Structure 1
Amino acid sequence: MKIVVRVELITDWGDTNTVEVGRIDRPSQTLDSGSVGLSLADGKQLLHSLQQAVIPAQTDEICALRRICRRCHRWTGVKGLPESQSRYRLWYRQLSQPTPRILRLRAALVFGNSVLPAMADHAGARYAGVVSPPGETRSADVVSTSGRDDAEFLPVGDKINHVTIRNRTLRVGARIDTIELPSIQPRSPTTEWTLAIDGGFVRGRGKTEIRSFEILTGRLAAPGGKPRVFACVRSELPDVAERLTSLVQTHSGTSHPRLSVITDGANGIQSIYRQLPFTATPILDWFHISMRVRHLEQIVKGLLPRSETEKYTKKALCTYANRLRWCFWHANAAKTEQRMQQTLLLCRIVVAQTARFTRSLEQLDYRVGELLAYLKSNSGSTIAYGKHYREHRPISTAMAESAVNQVINVRMCKHQHMRWTPRGAHLLAQVRCAGINGDLAAKLAAYRARIDEVPEDVARFLEFMQRAEEAKPHAF
């Protein structure tokens, strides 16, 4: 038996071409139950031949389309012979295809630009942003496993250098750093948006540089829509508020959206909302308040009274501590202040008879004062958490915490014994967020469209030159 595999290529304008991609011989003398079907080697060879037939056809089609000038719609020429090679790293083999360089007219100058985009940057950056650190060789080993026992998994031809993956990842991060794509789904101006912000720390590189630095990350969400993940390093941006403003305005579709900013109130994150050019409602994370109250409850519960005075003190402190959470939940600021002041008063006027009870009262006094300072530094950020919860509105930074785990911890901290520069961590975070949001390819396309645009001053100059050329008398 002979098996002949042919592929038929049909272009959008009706041209048809049939190419034979494989021929497999199965003589009847050697045919048995063990040789039924295609072997793995046959499948690899067929896929390789199929790519060798498809890639040249696609390359020619892209070249034909790119040779049409976007400004004047004229058919442009080709610079010399197609001696340059575009290399495609596929899952099973690396292929090379000659690509011509097209002449383009820009500001009365002729530039030779490669026709095909660097698709390897997109694939390598996306893989490195999802799997393992680009500074280690593990991602390259996973992609290229030929010559090992598990070469059946992703059998490629050559081993990919981890330095190449790292450089391409950071280059893609630099390209998409300032690009924000508008939301596909239209939003109403009355839509309530929630911006949850949190931070995670990564280790700096080298003893002479900063030992650790913070990466701000979080999510922007609206009812009925997919949350958007963002991340940045403060030292790598001139203005963090400007970046968040662009993010919110681009996806909300309005310059003055209805926005709530949820933070844990630490490291100056809460002050970011004051720098936004529109009004934003600050919300202090309920979980952090609840845990601080829980700490007070545990201290009071662990009191061991010996005398009647100590027993009365513990009973009164239990009453104040148990009602404190209710006051926060219903935004009763007056009762909250009263309960904490009464707790402080008891801790300072009661004379305990045992040293252990005295130490517990001192610890409780310190923790209550710390809670008061925490609330004072984030004044105006506490809300009626119970009402928001019943209305199914966010009251905590849970979605920001998950973003920290997705963008930072899994990729840079947990079981990743690496050190980072602020610039490298910032660019990798951009690739990571684009991969999670699913718009990495769209951002790269927007970047290529941006660099293909003619600057406004150049366009005016070309228009002036065209009018001057039309005004000249023509000799017949």
Structure 2
Amino acid sequence: MSLRWTLCLQCHADDGRVETIQLGTVERPTGNAEPADFGLSLRELRRLALALQQTVAQQQIYAYDRAKRRCPHCGAYRRIKDWRPRTFDTALGTIHVRVPRVVACMCLPEPLDENGDIEDYRETLCPIERLLPSRTTPELAYLCARHGATGSYRSAAAVVSALTSVSCLSHMRVRRETIKIGEYIEDRQFALGWGSDPQCEERAKSLSMAIDSTVLTAYPFEEISKFEVIAGRIEREGRMTRRFACAIPHRTLARVLVSAALKQCGWPPSTFVDVVNDGASGMRSLVTQIAPRVASPMLDWFHLAMKLHAIRSSLFSHHYFLPRPEIFSRCEKIWRKIREALWRGRAAIGIELTRTLAASMKEEALKRESFYGPTAATTFGAANRLLDFLQHNAAILVDYARARRAGRRISTAPAESVMNHLINRRMSKRQQMRWSINGAHYLLQARVELLDGKLEEQFIYKYPHFRSP
């Protein structure tokens, strides 16, 4: 004995007609049932969902054809030339439907589309073509863009194919969908950045921006071997609000994207912007050319701390079987004084102490050949690099203790974090790849929206009535 269920679909037309369509049947044994017979299997559920999708899509094509059969200009009835099979990929699988082609009307000397624009002359037209020109539903395009912005295109294609049962989904198709939405996002961001009105209703009292750059390996057919990528994050009143990125080497485009990110955070020209970077003047100029009120430049403490740690890691080392020279203990005290002087913004004292430390380690490296000789040489190299860094950036060395009490950002750790999270995890460190400049740029636009939680919003703007899968 067994149980059988028949699933039927009723279509209610505008004229009152009701059509019943059978989707499929499900049968289960009753007496000798096994645990695997309980409920619906995933394969059966996908088969029923695909049948439902195909039936609904075909009925929509019939209804849309009846609504668009008459000429939009003269109202003449256009006859059908033929019906052709078409394949569409959806989030529930691949469907096969019949699409009509109608004979074009000759009422106008130049053919016009539904918007009144001149289009190419064709003897036959396919009204359904404007709905799905790429034969892919927005839901499937969203899944491709979301997973393509998260991981590699090949792994994203495998995940989306397993999720939607679309067997012919290639990594190049995932790339095309990701690049396509990236181009759309850039167009919207360019319109926001080029405009003059703030895009946020509530104006921010203060904004903090961390900006940095990195280098990616270019595709072999590019004119350059490596190219620079600029990225950063904006915090509004202590909370991360917006990210931005630009890979195209065009300063105007980078400024427009930074301006769009600022406006989305509620930035009017009167708002004070605090910019934190690693001391490079080029990164800071991207903001100063946009915002009239920018905080005074400040060398970030993160890079200073990294260079101080490089000295400490070798200077504070010990050998269990060799006596430690006295000069190392004295240099440890000098290192602590250097750190205290830099923290208080005393650049001249810090430079002199660093010069003393470097000279002491250089002399010690020439004296000894055992463990402490190479250790002193390593410490000398690290101290010399810190000395050069301080001499080049002494003008923007500030009192970090006072700046921190005032609520300013003293470290570019947020910028380093956004570089790792936004770029390195997807494009360089964890996945060694070579990129075209445009491909990397548009992928970053999609990834920025994904990490900010606004990728679905972009699809809603592009496709009205969009429903997230």
The two structures have a TM-score, normalised by structure 1, of: 0.70
Matched, 1:94 2:94: yes
Q: How far did residue 288 of structure 1 move?
A: 1.0
Q: Distance in 2 between matches of 1:84 and 1:384?
A: 75
Give the structure 2 partner of residue 173 of structure 1.
182
Give the structure 2 partner of residue 246 of structure 1.
260
Report the aligned-residue RMSD.
4.6
Matches within 5 A, 1:97-108: 97=97, 104=113, 106=115
User: Counterpart of 2:172 in 1: which secondary structure?
Assistant: helix
* Unaligned ranges ≥5, structure 2: 103-111, 320-324, 465-469
Give the structure 2 partner of residue 192 of structure 1.
206
Give the structure 2 partner of residue 275 of structure 1.
289
8 Å CA contact retained: 2:215, 2:229: yes
Q: Distance in 1 between matches of 2:91 and 2:163?
A: 6
Q: How far did residue 226 of structure 1 move?
A: 4.9
Q: How far did residue 372 of structure 1 move?
A: 1.8
For 1:337, the aligned partner's letter is A
8 Å CA contact retained: 1:303, 1:360: no
> Which of these residues, 160, 177, 200, is aligned with residue 143 of structure 1?
160
Matched, 1:116 2:131: yes
Q: Distance in 2 between matches of 1:13 and 1:289?
A: 76
8 Å CA contact retained: 2:248, 2:438: no
Q: Count matched residues.
A: 423
* Unaligned ranges ≥5, structure 1: 68-72, 145-152, 305-309, 450-476
Give the structure 1 partner of residue 367 of structure 2.
355
Q: How far did residue 421 of structure 1 move?
A: 1.7
Q: How far did residue 64 of structure 1 move?
A: 9.7
8 Å CA contact retained: 1:175, 1:444: no
Q: How far did residue 105 of structure 1 move?
A: 5.0
Matched, 1:323 2:332: no
Matched, 1:372 2:367: no
The two structures have a TM-score, normalised by structure 2, of: 0.71
8 Å CA contact retained: 1:300, 1:364: no
Q: How far did residue 143 of structure 1 move?
A: 3.3
Give the structure 2 partner of residue 336 of structure 1.
347
Residue-by-residue CA offset, 1:190-242 (whole Å, 9 max, x unaligned): 42212111223221222884222221112122137553222111415544223
User: Counterpart of 2:246 in 1: which secondary structure?
Assistant: strand
User: Counterpart of 2:276 in 1: which secondary structure?
Assistant: strand
8 Å CA contact retained: 2:199, 2:266: no
Give the structure 1 partner of residue 467 of structure 2.
none
> Which of these residues, 169, 173, 180, is aligned with residue 164 of structure 1?
173
For 2:53, the aligned partner's letter is Q
User: Counterpart of 1:235 in 2: which secondary structure?
Assistant: coil
8 Å CA contact retained: 2:334, 2:357: no
User: Counterpart of 1:213 in 2: which secondary structure?
Assistant: strand
8 Å CA contact retained: 1:262, 1:395: yes
Residue-by-residue CA offset, 1:376-434 (whole Å, 9 max, x unaligned): 4xx33x44433554566543223322322232222222343421122221121112212
Residue-by-residue CA offset, 1:304-352 (whole Å, 9 max, x unaligned): 9xxxxx95x66664444213323333xx33x332242244257559995
Matched, 1:126 2:140: no
Q: Distance in 2 between matches of 1:142 and 1:190?
A: 40
Q: Distance in 1 between matches of 2:218 and 2:362?
A: 49
User: Counterpart of 1:276 in 2: which secondary structure?
Assistant: coil
Give the structure 1 partner of residue 53 of structure 2.
51
Residue-by-residue CA offset, 1:254-297 (whole Å, 9 max, x unaligned): 23432111212258434433333422224433211112223344
Q: How far did residue 62 of structure 1 move?
A: 8.1
Matched, 1:385 2:403: no
User: Could you tell me the percent identity over the aligned residues?
Assistant: 23
Give the structure 2 partner of residue 472 of structure 1.
none
For 1:276, the aligned partner's letter is I
8 Å CA contact retained: 1:320, 1:339: no
Give the structure 2 partner of residue 473 of structure 1.
none
Q: Distance in 1 between matches of 2:424 and 2:360?
A: 46
- Structure 1 residues 410, 350: CA separation in 2 closer, same or farther (over 3 Å shift)? closer
